Structure 1
Amino acid sequence: MNQPTSKRLRVDLLPQPELTYPDVVLVVDVIRATTTATAFLEAGASAIYTAASLEQARAFKDHDVVIAGEEGGLMPAGFDYGNSPREALEAKVTGKTVVMATTNGTRAAHLAATTAKHVLLASLYNAHAAARLAHELATEEVAILCAGAGGKVALDDTYTAGVLAEFIQLMGLYDLQDGTLIALATRRTYPDPLEPLSLSIAAQSLQRVGLEADVPFCAQIAASPAVPMLEGRVGDALIFRRYQPQRTTASGED
């Protein structure tokens, strides 16, 4: 009897230019970019564009396009929204495109998009839905790419990767890479997600600018079914839309 073939479950704790991805990548910037992108889709945005810079985001602004981002944690001049998931969830963006420009999350997403078959934006907020979709799409590997903070490993992203890895392991047989074991150990160290997120450098930076209320929002696990999935590009920006499963007719045709 043939044994089932296992897939790889990989966690990269930092983006590195030499990294390549043959299959599915979950990009994590839990405080706050990937949480905020999901919240904008929950609020009704038709698409999320991840821009490489604030200047590029400003160039997209139009009557049916809003721009969101951060500079030192705060909303940049001329932008419609900052990078707060609480604000995004209440934003008037139904049917609109939201162009986001953030430092760490944007860089990680662009790296993943260079080689991966599928790129998803993941956070604690949509952890179960993102993990399930990654498992369903993968043929050989699920990779979780942590954005980090300022070029350094981030506790909040590593913990989130551990939560995602736990969910993915429940769905199938996976070979665990070293980074995955580190993320899982971090997850087991902190039963309460608010603790590692609050201890992170990202949370401390938000506290300095009075946005510490975003941290408990980002610490919610599996509160959203929305998963931003890479659909294409426009210029240097990546286009993410909410994943919608294909519907079939009674005859089995799309």
Structure 2
Amino acid sequence: MRIDLLPTAESIVPAELAGCTAVVFDVLRATSTIVTALAHGCRRVVPVVDASGARELAGRLAGENTPVLLAGERGGQKIPGFPYGNSPLEYPPEVVGGKVLVLTTSNGTRALNGAAKEAHTVLVGSLLNARAVAQKACRLGRDITMVCAGTQGQFSLEDTLAAGMVVLEIVEMLDPGWLCSNHQPSSSLDLADFAVAALHLARTYRDNTRRAFDHSRHGRRLLNMGLAADLDWCASLNTFQVVPVVKKESSYLIIEKC
């Protein structure tokens, strides 16, 4: 099994994902929000790249008597006119249960749509469900590409950390001796250099994932916006067993629990 890692949404080359399992991360906060919403009873999430498309789709679903929530974020702020934003704390069971969440964000929804063009399977990853995602990806038995959304085209510490946590879980399941200094990695598990770097990043922060957000530029920015509670939530490791999977439905994507 080969494990690779893409550092930003902009580095996605759809043809290079053909036949693999892609795991998409936008830890602060889109994929954490998606995982939380589905864990709290959301029927499905629809990730839309642009705000106008999200607004139009939500209106169409509402016209079909589908209970829908319209949510969007740009630059960390809720989009004007949208009832909901990109905070996972906005989606407790009493709000999101049984509803469809139409979501557009600065980075995460672009990464999800980009990965879904050619990948065989797309899973939604975060710190919240890292172990469950690793187990699911291993069961699928395909090469894996961790797709980090990044922040405005730049490397993101928190996304790479979460990807590294999934890599760490996979290594511990399939070849735990890989982490020993005198062990020769098995030929059955082939980690690209970016994946190795993410693995060791995860080992550094494993006992204090929240600290990584204090060190990341985007995390500090959200903290300065008064979103410390969001950071605390998104830093929680292996809180949920939910593994969201992306599916294509007519002209848009949907995300549901496996």
1:116-135 alignment, distance < 5 Å: 116-135=119-138
Whether the aligned pair in 1 keeps the contact of 2:6 and 2:12 (CA below 8 Å) is no
Work out whether residues 8 and 176 of structure 1, in 8 Å CA contact, stay in contact via their aligned partners in 2. Answer: yes
Secondary structure of 1:78's partner?
A: coil
Give the whole-Å Cα distance in 2 for the aligned partners of 1:233 and 1:100: 16
Question: Is the CA contact (8 Å cut-off) linking 2:41 and 2:93 kept in structure 1?
Answer: no
Q: Report the equivalent of 2:25.
A: 28
Structure 1 residue matching 2:147: 3-state secondary structure = strand
Deviation at 1:213, TM superposition (A): 1.4
Q: Distance in 2 between matches of 1:193 and 1:67?
A: 30
Q: CA deviation at 1:77?
A: 2.2
Q: Distance in 1 between matches of 2:227 and 2:199?
A: 28
In the TM superposition, what are the counterparts of 1:80-159 in structure 2 within 5 Å? 80-90=83-93, 92-139=95-142, 141-159=143-161
Query: How far is the alpha carbon of 1:227 from its aligned partner?
Result: 1.3
Quote the residue 2:195 is aligned against.
Answer: 180
Contact 2:48 2:110 (C-alpha < 8 Å) held by counterparts: no
How far apart are 1:18 and its partner, in Å? 2.8
Deviation at 1:156, TM superposition (A): 0.6
Compute the displacement of 1:33 (Å): 0.4
Change (3 A) 1:91 1:79: farther
Question: What is residue 252 of structure 1 aligned with on the other side?
Answer: none
Given the alignment of the two structures, is residue 203 of structure 1 paired with residue 197 of structure 2, yes or no?
Answer: no
C-alpha separation between the residues in 2 aligned to 1:126 and 1:52? 24
User: Could you tell me the TM-score, scaled by structure 1's length?
Assistant: 0.87
Unmatched tracts of structure 2, length 5 or more: 175-187
Secondary structure of 1:183 counterpart = helix
Structure 1 residue 134: Cα displacement: 0.9
Task: String of CA shifts for 1:211-253, please: whole Å, max 9, x gaps.
Answer: 1210111111110111110121342x3111111xxxxxxxxxx
Indicate the SS of the match to 2:255.
Answer: strand
Moved more, 10-19 or 198-207: 10-19
Shift of residue 10, structure 1, vs aligned partner = 1.3
- Structure-1 residue corresponding to 2:179: none
CA contact (8 A) 2:44 2:99 kept: yes
**TM-score of the pair, normalised by structure 2:** 0.86
Shift of 1:208: 2.9
Q: Secondary structure at the match of 1:67?
A: strand
* Mean CA deviation greater in 90-99 or 210-219: 90-99
Q: Which protein is richer in helix relative to its size?
A: 2
Contact conserved, 1:229 with 1:241, CA < 8 A, in 2? yes
**Alignment match, 2:228:** 212
Query: Which of 30, 40, 59 is matched with 2:37 structurally?
Result: 40
* Runs of 4+ that moved beyond 6 A: none
Q: Deviation of residue 91 (structure 1)?
A: 5.1
Alpha-carbon spacing, 1:74–1:91, altered in 2? closer, same or farther (3 Å): farther
Within the candidate set 10, 13, 25, 2:7 is matched to 13
Q: Which amino acid aligns with 1:10?
A: D
Q: Structure 1: which 5+ runs fail to align?
A: 1-6, 244-254
One-letter code aligned to 1:95: G
- Establish whether residue 242 from structure 1 lines up as the match of residue 245 from structure 2: no
Do the aligned partners of residues 210 and 113 (structure 1) sit closer, same or farther apart at CA in structure 2, a change above 3 Å counting? Answer: same
CA distance in 1: counterparts of 2:77 and 2:94, whole angstroms: 16
Aligned residue pairs: how many?
A: 235
Asked if structure 2 preserves the Cα contact closer than 8 Å seen for 1:42 and 1:89, the reply is no
1:69 to 67, 72, 76: 72
Q: CA deviation at 1:196?
A: 1.0
